[in-house]
Structure 1
Amino acid sequence: MITNIYTLSRKEGWQRWADAPARVRPELLAPKQITKLGEDARADYNDARHDWHANFGILKTPQLAAIHDELDQIVATNRQDPDRIRGAAVIDALPGLGKTTIANTFARDFDRAQRRRFGDLTEEGHERLPVFRVGLTSRTTLRTLNRMICEFYGHPGTDRANAAQLASFAVDCVISCQTRIGIIDDLHFIDPNRRDGIEVSNHLKWLANELPVTFIYAGVGLAERRLFAEGLTGDNAVMAQTARRWTRLELPPFHVGDQAGRRHWQSLLKATERQLVLTKAHPSMLVDLADYLFARTTGHIGSFITLITRGCYKAIRTGAEKLTERLLDTIRIDEASEAARYHLQAGFQAGKLTSYRNTG
């Protein structure tokens, strides 16, 4: 809906998201009840279900819980005085595994706790903003990074300042608003082999030195891109400060190679089933499709949620009101999942793979 358009890269959008109450799950109506609804009422009910299925909340997967625990430990122990360097966390994983979601939800919980404990205003009367968040782009430079931080806070001098002035404004905003966590998303856009990439990487170290915050970075394939080595090679790589300051948190996809992996996959399916509002859904609707759903999504939570969301939309629109293999076969998702689908399906059909728990 148009009223829900906002961005987490501005303080107003972040606060709106952080303060938003939990969504109310639409009532599950029986098929006969839906047929008795008028045309407008039925359209409104279906629209509410579409909105719910696209936003039914964060599934607390084992991966999310594990990284939240790690982040909590890192943030809680970063109590150093301003003259000492705080360690940073970096969530490094393949696309579609929920890096951004994990970082944002952890920071949202922290934001709520800080404002609940200390109030919405600082003692000096400034807005208390426990978290700032920015997302990098492929053209991020030192100046644009500073500008994005200032834009999050809504600093009035953002448009006419140079890089040094923007850096000073950013420091003032963080300190005045008593910010404690800074999220830098899409860190993989920094190329440590390019001049502007080295400048941004060095500037991140400067910000870590100057700001009393814990940085949480998220990106794709950061180790492979040698971001931790800052582009240095051979013996020079030991001179890289990043690898000593950042704690790398890996985020694996779901797998079905052992009992624990199969148990986690089944738990995800059961938790998702409980969220769906389809009139002809039945217990184990998704669990019965465990192999199929894994083959379709390769165990990537982002691909899985996309398939379920689009499947629910079509199930409601067509009147099927349940998810079946036949219906889901008509839904296309990301190309990476589609490319791996038939190889995985062959493994399941040959008995080399299974996502069902061994109860024997």
Structure 2
Amino acid sequence: MAVPDSLTAWREFVARRNIEPEHLTTDQLAAMTADEKDLYDESRFAWLGADIVIETKDLATIDRQVRIIRARLAAQRSTAGRTLALTGRAGVGKSTIAMLMGKRHEKAVRDKLDSSTPAESIAPVVYLVVPPASTPKMLMRAIARWIGMQVPRGWDAATILDRTVAVLHELKTSMVIVDEVHNLRTNRAAGADAASTLKALTERLDAAIIYCGIDLLNSDLLAGEMGRQIRARTKVYDIRTYSYGGAADRELWAELVAGMEALLPLAEHVPGTLDTPEMSDYLWNRTGGSIGSLRNLLGDAAIEAIFDSTEKITRPGLDAVILDQEAVRGQAAYSTTPQKAPTKSAKASKSEVG
């Protein structure tokens, strides 16, 4: 599913359920008709391409911080609330986790709705992707467009802001996710004004605010006077790639690999094949410890195994996968051979996103 670029698309995302296909045996596959096999393979491709979040320490910590911020919304206050910013390099799962937080929040709100409240009358979550080189008007038009609000040509940013705030109050919006927030360059006049407008929006809403962006700790967003004001009310959580230096680090990586391996719906794949010191080393070196790159590597290898009917992950199959460039850069950065990983690891659980 594409990034939810409208309220309608967001509602479809929240309602979407990823269905894990049954893990069939080779005999069961052989007994299928061609049409049945095609349908089963389509369900497997959909599963392997879905944004399934493994329950990690990062996810648990972020979920707790979001719940704390949401709890603070119960207070009667006249000052801006706290904001959570998720940062890190590309591919570590910032947007995926933020969208999962939004999905959980929306479900929690809707579960408490009175049966007489029309589902379409509220929008607990707004998800905004900041346009590059945003001006205040561009930013506010993007939010207005997302919620389906018509913006007359003559309205300026302040007018759009006023009307947007009014509509968001009507929709009972209580969480705003601002993705690609590193696109706000506060060291430039237009960017600083756009950041100021975003700050004004969040101050006028009783909503939990989640920012997502690349390398925010060193970004223009948190620099200068405007950056100082944003920093004063923002908790920053840095999502990092997995380390591999000590025994505890290697154990966490092994757990992640084992958790992802358990999700592979391949008839011939033997559980535990990837849970060895050699394969753990290999997978970490190939991905630089990136959870997104690991998911893509295993997913692509699994799809290839379905295409060629081998139905299992092999080292040659993994070698043949072309990685994303962020993973290639990570591989180059961590080119030294790591220490051996532990031979046993716990299986990680999964959490549905889209």
**Structure-2-length-normalised TM-score:** 0.89
Distance 1:317 1:158 in 2: 51
**More off after superposition, 92-101 vs 112-121:** 112-121
SS where residue 83 of structure 1 aligns?
coil
Q: Deviations over 1:69-97 (max 9, x none)?
A: 11211221233335222111111211111
Identity of aligned residues (%): 24
Equivalent pair of 1:262/1:357 in contact (CA under 8 Å): no
SS where residue 217 of structure 2 aligns?
coil
Alignment partner, residue 206 of structure 2: 212
**Post-superposition offset of 1:254:** 1.2
Alignment partner, residue 250 of structure 1: 238
Structure 2 residue identity aligned to 1:66: T
Equivalent pair of 2:141/2:151 in contact (CA under 8 Å): no
Distance 2:321 2:344 in 1: 30
1:330-345 equivalences in 2 (<5 Å): 330-341=320-331, 344=334
SS where residue 218 of structure 1 aligns?
strand
Indicate which of 69, 73, 81 corresponds to 2:76: 81
1:95-110 equivalences in 2 (<5 Å): 95-110=90-105
Distance 1:121 1:84 in 2: 33
Alignment partner, residue 279 of structure 1: 267
Equivalent pair of 1:91/1:219 in contact (CA under 8 Å): yes
Distance 2:147 2:255 in 1: 40
Alignment partner, residue 16 of structure 1: 12
**More off after superposition, 251-260 vs 27-36:** 27-36
Q: Deviations over 1:89-112 (max 9, x none)?
A: 111211111111111111111111
Alignment partner, residue 349 of structure 2: none
Alignment partner, residue 298 of structure 1: 288
Equivalent pair of 2:29/2:37 in contact (CA under 8 Å): yes
**Structure 2 segments unaligned to the other structure (5+ residues):** 346-354
Distance 2:258 2:184 in 1: 39
Distance 1:251 1:297 in 2: 16
**Post-superposition offset of 1:226:** 4.1
1:1-360 equivalences in 2 (<5 Å): 7-21=3-17, 23-55=18-50, 57-81=52-76, 83-119=78-114, 127-157=121-151, 161-229=155-223, 231-232=224-225, 240-288=228-276, 289-341=279-331, 344=334, 346-348=336-338, 353-356=339-342
How many pairs are equivalent? 343
| 1:92–1:343 distance in 2 versus 1, CA, 3 Å | closer
**Post-superposition offset of 1:113:** 0.6
Equivalent pair of 1:62/1:264 in contact (CA under 8 Å): no
RMSD: 2.4
Q: Deviations over 1:198-235 (max 9, x none)?
A: 10111122112222212110101112124223x35xxx
**Structure-1-length-normalised TM-score:** 0.88
Equivalent pair of 2:179/2:211 in contact (CA under 8 Å): yes
Distance 1:189 1:72 in 2: 27
**Post-superposition offset of 1:343:** 6.4
Distance 1:312 1:357 in 2: 23
| 1:20–1:126 distance in 2 versus 1, CA, 3 Å | closer
| 1:56–1:218 distance in 2 versus 1, CA, 3 Å | closer
**Post-superposition offset of 1:151:** 1.6
SS where residue 254 of structure 1 aligns?
coil
**Post-superposition offset of 1:195:** 1.0
| 1:65–1:44 distance in 2 versus 1, CA, 3 Å | same
| 1:218–1:158 distance in 2 versus 1, CA, 3 Å | farther
Q: Deviations over 1:160-217 (max 9, x none)?
A: 6332221122101111011111110001111111111110111122112222212110
